[in-house]
């Protein structure tokens, strides 16, 4: 029974006054802690654990948001774009696992891996690994088995072809590449599963901070490729997890 | 048993000479008809029916490619970006169903709808409908149930909220919008399934032919949103179908 | 009686010689203190208190301008883009109230709140707060009642909907958002008062330092939305104050 | 009494069943005529008459939307971006006043002019007049007195200075200019009321179809200037009307 | 003996007066026919046959330039960007071979193929063929053996891999591709000879008229790839020919 | 004696009443003919003959402006961007000389050539000639001797070097070039007079409609080069004339 | 008598051997000091004193170039973009006057002011002063009388109008402005002499580091305005000096 | 005999089992050392020595890759974009020659110079030298004779003309220039060999970090010019070496 129907039936049955009903219908499904409106129903609404975007928040703010979440029963929390310094500061109050290369902190356990299949993450070069790891840890946090296949850029296509089986065995692939971003197209052409392309800001000059790779991926001649923002490993991991749980 | 292993075992057993094996390993899994290398193994390789991109091909070329496909047993063919004039010309030789608004032609039947759930397609305005229909017909062709929810742009958010159930009941959503492209973020925030965002070239001035909507969608503050090229309804429908068949 | 008519009549009546009149007509309504032409008639001409743009001025220059203003009877002065260091230095000579988050310093009292109604300031996220506060303090300085509604971005539309009344009760709204800037459109669609949209440089990659949000806001499908420069909280607060005093 | 409270009280008093209430709460405040969701409550929600964006809609669609509006009691309708051909076709069914230069059609009377003051519209050159007229007719339709001051671009500043009184007497100003768009800054510096700047696509080469004027206006060194999309005369007229009715 | 030395020695020996020498040193090595300065020494200076860029020249101008060239002994002339209509008009006076797909016209014979090896031209799709043919005919005109390998885009990498030998056997490769332009990187990674990349304007939306492919190619992660302008098949063919004649 | 002093003295002497003086001081030095404010004092204020920008004006408007000018004693009028069709229509009422290639029409005589020296106009190619002619005719109209040196682009530097004397003998040079716009730098390096660089929209692909040449010219490594808008031959001719009359 | 004629006559008269003549004709009119080819004939060729661009050169390199120049008789040297640190280091060997705000160093005296008239330099704000001073010191170095009129931006047009006489009395004007760069148009409309517009990188957000002001100035609706690169005060001063010496 | 044929024949002759053959066919021709897949067959596949891109790799990673290469018999290794600090750290384990200006480190000897002819490298200014040296050392490492011609920008065209012989004697030319990048066109017009153009990020303002030079070079009106990424000296040197070894 939906919440709205429940409230209306309670009015009809006299259990709830009109004024209380008005309040209930408006009750904020978030905790207002001043500098942020912590979204507590999101777990239910979006079916996922909670995430804090660490960039531009002070360690104190991050700690406060974690505290608020925990008080409301949220025990699996992912913090992205968390610098080493902030991670250390947050650790004073909260128990978190921290990965420096991906700048990810995790409070609580990963969700059990219960997706449809396996997420494979490929990168063009070694410089793309931080973004790839952000995607990998996000996907693992959200309950997915992840395989990594790094440094298989198209300039040495044999390195990718040597791992065809891994590509064929994936239920979702995340292709992470900077410079010309051609990896997404090649992988997209080989795979028969959805490919999430993540352009990275790796490169210089006409790479334009990732714009070149981004355009490349948007124009992929392969079907079944969609794109997230530059360096957005988290977004790719989140999207891949959603796909890997379709119908679950 | 894989093709390669089969060939190698045939050599081992003497069924195949080395020279014939070399030929087999190299046999092109496509039909070279001069102006195109028709990809005949793609059905198997990518697990989908075949698609012809109609833009920039003459009716004669399109008819020839259809003929080559049919001769190799491909009986479900989707032709995108097919103008009314070309559709008429192609119809002289081949039996196709044609939709003018989406510029899509289809030879043969749609694949039976056997996806995990239902694909919902939303648009911001009426001008986005051609792109949305390209997505819808593509997804239906590839074996998906599709629901349409058009003209629910964020400037009148109540129109979208009135159809919450449809959003909540989707397994994949395609959000099609031009101008500022905000629809993708709002839908992405409401839904708990993957959202494929399609920017359209609808708008003028600073809409920059769809670039504004594209940037908007790439920067979506909602998680679980990924983006395809401007006006790429086909790409969105194809991606959504892949997602709707994950694990199938 | 206008100044010009006054001067001309004084000539006619012989009170003023032609040469003196020429001088009077040309007298600069500003104080030339070398590095700046302090605009002393602006209070009258534009009907507002005076503002100093702090960026790129030394503390000495800022102090000098304040001194010149005070000497000419200007006792309400707003200084924007004032770093903590400069604020400290200026405080040595002048009594100012300083807000670090918005980088605003104020000498003298705020003007009494005498606008038509109330200015409501909404932000998409917590990172947009510095810009929002610049707008809020500016509007308060210029004599307006201000309400703040922060962190109500469209990815969690229920947070905004829960405060519908605040939106409906505004005489002007300032919508501050980075990333995809969709907040302006959603608020613009809900409200029946003018909305000033302020794109912020919050975001990364394809956010392009605020360009993405800026384009979004310019292309808003909602009517009654106009836009100021990226991160221009002051401009939005000033504009909102002007609107809130139309007819006053 | 709000609609929601009314419905809830009707449930409480037994006048309305829960199921009917659910339907009422969800009843779409728009008429779904297939290709569009005509927004019928918008008059109340946004306090204005209704507007149809004519671009990309067929005359049949436009006529249908007008019909639906009229049937729901909406008798003042503005149609923008309406070509001469479409206007002629729509006139077959509906009685509309048509202005070719501004491409605006109006069904019914203008709202009575009941704003706070007067809207003044200035243009840089004669080529900006179509956009200015779109703004002027929109503002008049929405119930405003409008004054026009055309061809007063900054290259001959004396033409603008000769009409200072008109600038000083406005409650809102709309500044329409292409090329370098400097008019907005000069007017913004002179006026003590809000200025809505409209960049136009007038110009060539580095005018970049209006982007140059747009950037200029966004960077205006004058306070109290905000900007709408390139060539968006309607948006400026609508915004100006809203400002001119603040507190009304 | 260089021309300059010759002239100086003639002065020394009295064969030439100072004034005549001044004239000789300044004599224009081109024929001034009013609307053009036909470059007659270029054959010697750049070691190649002569080329006319047909775009923006009238058939009469083109015919006039051919005439001037022929009169000065130039009998191998390539005309690029020559529309069918102009080709017909020019044919009235001059005997030319015309290729409509590449819009190339040739007066006289191709130079004999005397390069170091073979130029291989690959394209991503069938829509890239016009640009590829411009390159092919240019290279053949300049004395090169050319092999064509069309429609081998990276979305079906097996089509390219099936022709590895052709790639390995080239002395120069021209890679022609639109959309994401990934072909250049894949070919660049496979080949051990110079690769000239030609972005084409094939694609739509974020393809930005070829800019996306151009950026991709400039950022190629493969070494040994350099790039010419969008759709510049002629430039690629000319450059490839120069490379194929290095040391000849 | 200045006009203002004159008016003031007339008041002092009683020749002029205060009210009349106010009117005089405000009298518009332009003729308001509805669609344009014809600037009649400009001849004196800017020391030049009058110019009409023909683009976007109807033949009737152009004829009306010419009529108004003539009535106020202006007998030398230049009309730019005047299409053949409009020129024919305007000729029905006014006697004008028309140049189709430059789209310039002239009523009355050119001003007598009374500049300091000679203006030399160089172009990179034949396609740049229309823009160059617009500059040339403008400069001649404004009273300058002009020399033309066309088709001397830097790809054949000897063509330019052969005319060194012409470069050295100029008092101002206008360098007109599209594509990479390098001509301005080379000429700027050779000349010892001011160089006005005019980028043209000649080129394709990465020429970006003249943006590439524009950027090139703005970044010229040669000193003494300044730039006008793309294809702005008129602006260059006007500027060159002003320079050629400095001190006159 | 030209150098070339001199050499040729010396050959004719036997004074010079052919080989020596060849050497003479090729003798480099610059001093090759390894890291730079110091241009020693430029004084004659371009009729100006010498300039060193200090950016990206070490103090040692700058000192070396000055030394080479002095040894060849060049005693007036301007060094631009010279940081305080480098200036101090260079001062150890050479006697230079240094201006920190404009980052200009000068060895030797300014050229005597012998131009046609006076150069007036105006700025929009105080932040534009460094660029303006670079222009001013350059022009003074090259022999010009310079007047400064700073902080007269168009948002307070009366400050500019109060100095009309200075504008009218100039032979060349340099207009320096950031943000929207409107100053160039207003000054261009008032003045009857050439205006050199210098966009500055002053501003933020949509100012795009000076691109906005640059575009504004290129699109100026005033005639007689040309533009140099962003922040290029030196270029403007050099160009203005050239103009001020036309015919000298 | 090819590797594949060898393996197949071994199966046929019973020397190799099918399973072993499958393994052999898939054996990775690279050494997987965790953070990188070191490409060991590339020497053979691409016919060149090995290169490490130093940017974004730690000294430990670089040392590890060198170690892996040496263990597999690779004794000529080029490391690009190697900072002084990293070079020092790597030197602790490996013997490398280091050039600070070009940031290049080399382990082992250069390949013997065995190209077709000579590579000439020209720069526009002294600031372009670091990029030029990266190209020069790369080319020398790969076995080429290199000549340097620095600081010959087009603003002083005589400096370039004085070295015509060097230009005419090259088999390949690398033209390195920032700002307006005109050098490539002038050199391209003079030379009769392939020209590789390298835009540099030298310049400011509208130089846009090298984009201006890049566009210039792509639009070169000279034939036989192709372009690499901004500041990509390595890429140019590599490409030039390939060209200089065509047919070798």
- The residue-averaged pLDDT of E3-12 equals 65
Nearest chain F residue to E200 by CA distance is F205
Is the CB of A12 inside 8 Å of chain D's CB atoms? yes
Under DSSP, the state recorded for F3 is H
Residues of chain F in contact with residue D150, where contact means CB-CB under 8 angstroms, are 35, 37
Tell me if B4 is assigned to some domain: no
Q: Is residue C1 part of a domain?
A: no
Residue C46: pLDDT band (50, 70, 90) is very low
**Whether residue G24 is found in the same domain as residue G122:** no
pLDDT band at H37 (very low <50, low <70, confident <90, very high): low
Instruction: Give the DSSP letter of residue D229.
Output: -
Per-residue model confidence (pLDDT) at position A5? 59
Chain F meets chain B (3+ C-beta pairs below 8 A) = no
Residue with tokens 């036309």: G246
Whole-number Å distance between alpha carbons of E186 and E191: 9
Average pLDDT over residues C91-97: 95
Token pair for G67: 């030394």
C-beta atoms of B213 and C222 within 8 A: no
**End residue of a domain, out of E88, E107, E126:** E107
pLDDT of residue B31: 59
When CB atoms are compared, the residue of C193, C218, C242 closest to D224 is C242
3-class DSSP assignment, residue E26: helix
The secondary structure element, H or E, covering residue E218 is: helix E211-218
Mean pLDDT, chain A, as a whole number? 86
**For chain H, how far is it from start to end, CA to CA, in angstroms?**
21
Q: Are residues D125 and D232 in the same domain?
A: yes
Q: Which two tokens stand for residue D212?
A: 């140059």
Which of A208-217, B30-39, E67-76 has maximum average pLDDT?
A: A208-217
Contacts G214 to H, Cβ<8 Å: 205-206
- Mean pLDDT of the region E161-177: 92
Most distant CA atoms of chain A, gap in Å: 73
Q: Which of E154, E156, E223 is nearest residue A182 as measured by Cβ atoms?
A: E154
% of chain E at pLDDT higher than 70: 84
For residue range E180-192, what is the model confidence (pLDDT) as tens digits?
899 999 999 999 8
Do D232 and D143 share a structural domain? yes
Number of domains in chain E: 2
Residue E40 in this model has a pLDDT that exceeds 60: no
Label residue B28 by pLDDT band (50, 70, 90): very low
pLDDT in tens, A24-80: 554 444 555 556 665 544 443 344 467 898 988 899 989 998 998 888 778 899 999
Q: Which of D86-95, E230-239, F36-45 has the lowest mean pLDDT?
A: F36-45
DSSP string, chain C: --HHHHHHHHHHTTSS-HHHHHHHHH--SEEE-SS-EEESSHHHHHSS-EEEE-TT--HHHHHHHHHHHHHTT---EEEES--HHHHHHHHTTS-EEEETTTTEEEESPPPP--SSSEEEEEESSGGGHHHHHHHHHHHHHTT-EEEEE-S--GGGHHHHHTTHHHHHT-SEEEEEE-TT-THHHHHHHH-SS-EEEEE---S-GGGGGGHHHHHHHHT-SSSSEEE--TT-HHHHHHHHHHHHTTT-
Least confident segment among D134-138, F151-155, H21-25: H21-25
Of residues F107 and A34, the one with the higher pLDDT is: F107
Among residues H163, E18, D61, D100, the alpha carbon closest in space to that of B129 is found at: D61
Is E181:E214 a contact under the CB 8 Å cutoff? Answer: yes
Q: Is A207 in CB contact (< 8 Å) with chain E? A: yes
Averaged pLDDT, F15-26: 60
Chain H: residue whose CA lies nearest to G34: H150
Pair E223, E186 in one domain: yes
Q: Which of residues 38-57 of G touch D (CB under 8 A)?
A: none
Question: Does the pLDDT value for residue H113 go beyond 90?
Answer: yes
Model pLDDT for residues H148-197, shown as the tens digit of each residue = 999 998 888 888 888 888 998 999 999 999 998 999 999 999 998 999 99
Q: Are residues A103 and A122 in the same domain?
A: no
CA dihedral sign of residues H142, H147, H151, H153? negative
Spatial distance between the Cα atoms of A218 and B199, rounded to a whole number of angstroms: 11
* Least reliable range by pLDDT among C31-35, E50-54, E88-92: C31-35
**Are both C132 and C97 inside the same structural domain?**
no
Q: pLDDT value at position A68?
A: 86
User: Is the same domain home to H71 and H131?
Assistant: no
Residue E56, Cβ density class (10 Å: 0-12 exposed, 13-18 middle, ≥19 buried): middle
Percent of chain F with pLDDT over 70: 83
3-state helix, strand, coil in chain H (%, to 5): 45, 20, 40
Taking the Cβ of residue E23 and every Cβ of chain G, the question of whether any pair is shorter than 8 Å is answered with: no
**Which residue among F107, F138, F165 closes a domain?**
F107
* Per-residue pLDDT, C99: 97
Nearest-by-Cβ selection for A155 from E215, E218, E222: E222
Please tell me whether residues H44 and H152 are part of one structural domain. no
Average pLDDT, rounded, for chain B: 86
Could you tell me if residue G9 is inside a domain? Answer: no
What is the pLDDT averaged over residues E54-62? 89
Average pLDDT, stretch E34-50? 52
User: Which chain G residues have a beta carbon less than 8 Å from that of F243?
Assistant: 194, 243, 246
Query: Mean per-residue pLDDT for F17-32?
Result: 55
Say which DSSP state H204 is in.
-
Residue D1: the pLDDT is 38
pLDDT score at E155: 82
From D67, D86, D107, the end of a domain falls on: D107
Radius of gyration of chain D (CA): 21
Q: What is the dihedral of CA G222, G224, G230, G232, to 10 degrees?
A: -150
On the question of pLDDT at A14 being above 60, the answer is yes
Picking from B64-68, C104-108, E45-49, which range would have the lowest pLDDT averaged per residue?
A: E45-49
H3 within domain boundaries: no
Average confidence (pLDDT) over G152-163: 86
Count contacts between D and F (CB, < 8 Å). Answer: 49
Average pLDDT, chain C: 86
Which is more confidently placed, B26 or H89?
H89
For chain B, list the contacting chains (3+ Cβ pairs, <8 Å): A, C, D, E, H
Q: What token pair was written down for H156?
A: 């002083």
**List of residues 6+ apart from H243 with CB closer than 8 A:** E194, E243, E246, H171, H172, H194, H196
Overall average pLDDT of the D204-213 stretch: 95
How buried is D228 (Cβ within 10 angstroms: 0-12 exposed, 13-18 middle, 19+ buried)?
Answer: buried
Q: Identify the pLDDT of residue B42.
A: 45
Option in B8, B22, B25 nearest H11 (CB): B8
Query: Are residue H91 and residue H124 in the same domain, yes or no?
Result: no
Reported as a pLDDT band with limits 50, 70 and 90, residue E45 is very low
Mean pLDDT of chain F: 86
Task: Tell me the Cα Rg of chain F.
Answer: 21
Q: Nearest residue of C to residue F26 by CA position?
A: C4
* Local structure of B50: helix, strand or coil: strand
**For residues B5-16, average pLDDT:** 72
Residue H9 lies in a domain: no
Q: Which residue has the higher pLDDT, D158 or C105?
A: C105
Q: How many CB pairs under 8 A join B and H?
A: 29
Residue C110 CA: distances (Å) to CA of A9, A28, G230: 51, 34, 39
- Per the structure, the complete domain to which residue E132 belongs is given by 118-244
More confident residue, E153 or H135: H135
Report the CATH number at residue B191.
3.40.50.1970
Strand partners, A77: A50, A107
Say if C41 falls within a structural domain.
Answer: yes
Query: Residue B186: what pLDDT?
Result: 93
pLDDT of residue E39: 53
pLDDT at H221: 86
DSSP-derived pairing of the beta strands D104-107 and D77-80: antiparallel
User: What is the arithmetic mean of pLDDT over F48-72?
Assistant: 86
Q: Establish if C23 touches chain F: CB-CB under 8 angstroms.
A: no
Check if the beta carbon of residue A145 is closer than 8 Å to that of residue A175: no
Q: Is A231 part of the contact surface with chain C (CB cutoff 8 Å)? A: yes
Tokens in use for H121? 């490298």
Mean pLDDT over residues C185-197, rounded? 93
D23 and chain A in contact, CB less than 8 A: no
Q: What pLDDT digit, counting tens, does each position of C114-173 carry? A: 999 999 999 999 899 999 999 999 999 999 999 999 999 888 888 888 888 899 899 999
Q: Are residues B87 and B165 in the same domain?
A: no
> D43-70 pLDDT, tens per residue?
433 444 678 989 888 999 899 989 988 8
**Closest residue on chain B to E127 (Cα):** B56
Greatest mean pLDDT range, B154-158, C180-184, E46-50, G28-32? C180-184
Residues H130 and H226 in one domain: yes
pLDDT at B232 over 50: yes
Residues of A in contact with D8 (CB under 8 A): 8, 11, 18, 21-22
The predicted-structure confidence for F157-199, as pLDDT tens digits, reads as follows 888 888 888 998 999 999 999 998 999 999 999 998 999 999 9
How far is residue A31's CA from residue G151's CA, in Å, rounded to a whole number? Answer: 50
Residues in F touching H206 (Cβ below 8 Å) = 215, 218-219
pLDDT at B161: 87
Q: How far apart are CA E104 and CA E83, in angstroms?
A: 8
Of residues H168, H209, H211, the one with CA closest to residue H192: H168
pLDDT tens, position by position, H140-154: 999 999 999 999 988
pLDDT above 70 (res H32): no
Name the residue with tokens 């996306």.
Answer: E212
| Whether G93 and G178 share a structural domain | no
Residue C22 lies in a domain: yes
Residue of A nearest to E212 (CA): A215
pLDDT higher than threshold 90 for residue F132:
yes
Percent residues over pLDDT 90 in chain H: 60
User: Which chain E residue is nearest to residue F125, measuring alpha carbons?
Assistant: E36
CA distance H59 to H66: 10
pTM of the model: 0.87
* CB neighbours of residue F34 within 10 Å: 10
| Nearest CB to B159 within list D30, D55, D210 | D30
pLDDT number for residue E47: 44
Chain F contact for D206, CB < 8 A?
Answer: yes
Contact A12 D18 (CB under 8 A): yes
Q: Residue D2 has what pLDDT?
A: 42
Answer yes or no: do A152 and H37 touch at CB < 8 A.
Answer: yes
When pLDDT is averaged across residues E42-46 and rounded to a whole number, the result is 42
Banded pLDDT at A163 (limits 50, 70, 90): confident
Predicted local distance difference test score (pLDDT) of residue A15: 78
Confidence at A164, pLDDT banded by 50, 70, 90: confident
Residue E11 included in any domain? no
pLDDT digits over G62-116, tens only? 999 899 888 877 889 999 999 999 999 999 999 999 999 999 999 999 999 999 9
């Amino acid at each position: 029974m939906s919440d709205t129907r429940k409230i209306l039936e309670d009015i009809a049955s006299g259990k709830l006054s009109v004024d209380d009903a008005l309040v209930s219908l408006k009750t904020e499904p978030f905790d207002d802690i001043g500098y942020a409106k912590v979204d507590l129903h999101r777990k239910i609404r979006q079916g996922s654990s909670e995430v804090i975007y660490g960039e531009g928040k002070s360690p104190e703010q991050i700690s406060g948001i974690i505290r608020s979440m925990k008080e409301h029963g949220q025990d699996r929390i992912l913090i992205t774009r968390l610098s080493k310094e902030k991670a250390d500061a947050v650790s004073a109050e909260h128990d978190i696992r921290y990965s420096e290369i991906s700048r990810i902190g995790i409070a609580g356990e990963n969700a059990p891996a219960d997706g449809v299949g396996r997420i494979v993450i490929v990168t063009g070069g070694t410089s793309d690994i931080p973004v790839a790891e952000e995607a990998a840890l996000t996907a693992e946090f959200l309950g997915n088995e992840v395989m990594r296949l790094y440094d298989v850029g198209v300039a040495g296509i044999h390195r990718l072809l040597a791992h065809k089986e891994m590509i064929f065995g994936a239920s979702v692939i995340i292709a992470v590449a900077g410079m010309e971003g051609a990896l997404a197209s090649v992988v997209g052409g080989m795979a028969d599963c959805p490919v999430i392309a993540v352009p990275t800001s790796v490169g210089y000059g006409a790479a334009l901070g990732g714009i070149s790779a981004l355009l490349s991926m948007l124009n992929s001649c392969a079907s079944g490729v969609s794109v997230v923002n530059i360096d957005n490993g988290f977004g790719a991991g989140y999207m891949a997890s959603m796909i890997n749980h379709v119908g679950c």
